[in-house]
A = this chain, B = another copy of it.
Amino acid sequence: MFGDRMNYPNGIKKHDEKETNYGNRGMILENDINETNKFYLANNIAIIHKKPIPITITKVHYPSRFEAVIKEAYFKTPSTTDYNGIYRERYIDFEAKETKNKKYFPISNIHKHQIEHLKLIIEHGGIGFIIVRFVSLDLTFYLDGKDLIEFINTNKRKSIPLAFFKQKGYIIKTRFNPRIDYLSIVDKIYFGGEHYEKSNKKD
């Protein structure tokens, strides 16, 4: 899809953003996650989708009865995280971000609304987390939502140090397929390490 390739920045209106290379931000990680989700779907492991980019449409042209072309629209601040779905009967919800920083992850990369959303999801019995890739280090972490919230509640820092990810997070290794098997971490934390039954897969 062309839309995916262009990789629209969710945080485009966030003026205090540290990283301004919007055109590429999150592109590779996003692609890895989309491919991983396709693998999960094709193998009947989980139904997890990326939400479309939230926009406000202000002008549409109708060249014919069945065609519509959006001629003016604006990016909106998302009110939820980008990814959600179901895995092993549990509600799954997460946000994924890349950072070029080598020592910490600026919390401002995630909208306040999204953090608030993750809190609520956890309160309601869902599984919430973030996936953060330190691009320069080639390291991708799963950080559970509970640990993220605890960090925010107990720290005044505006960024999460790499050391915190190393201590509380889990490294997700990049493989061929699935590219980043983040659900194996969910298995560890929420299902006592027991991997999802192969017998439950389609084929």
Determine whether the beta carbon of B13 is less than 8 Å from that of A66.
yes
Residues of A within 8 A of B (CB): 1-3, 6, 8-9, 12-13, 15, 20, 22, 41, 44, 46-47, 49, 51-58, 60, 65-76, 79-80, 84-91, 93, 117, 120-121, 123-126
What is the interface of chain A mostly: helix, strand, loop, or mixed?
mixed
A70, closest chain B residue (CB) = B73
Number of this chain's copies in the complex = 2
Docked complex Cα distance between A49 and B124 (Å): 14
Query: Which residues of the other chain, B, contact A79 by a CB distance below 8 angstroms?
Result: 49
Pick from B20, B41, B85: contact of A65, CB below 8 A. Answer: B20
Q: A13-B66, A53-B52, A65-B20 are in contact. Are A125 and B71 (CB under 8 A)?
A: no
Determine whether the beta carbon of A6 is less than 8 Å from that of B71.
no
Closest 8 CB pairs of A and B: A89-B125, A70-B73, A3-B56, A52-B54, A91-B91, A52-B52, A86-B91, A86-B126
Docked complex Cα distance between A72 and B1 (Å): 15
Nearest-Cβ distance from residue A101 to partner chain B, whole angstroms: 20
Query: Which residues of the other chain, B, contact A120 by a CB distance below 8 angstroms?
Result: 41, 44, 47
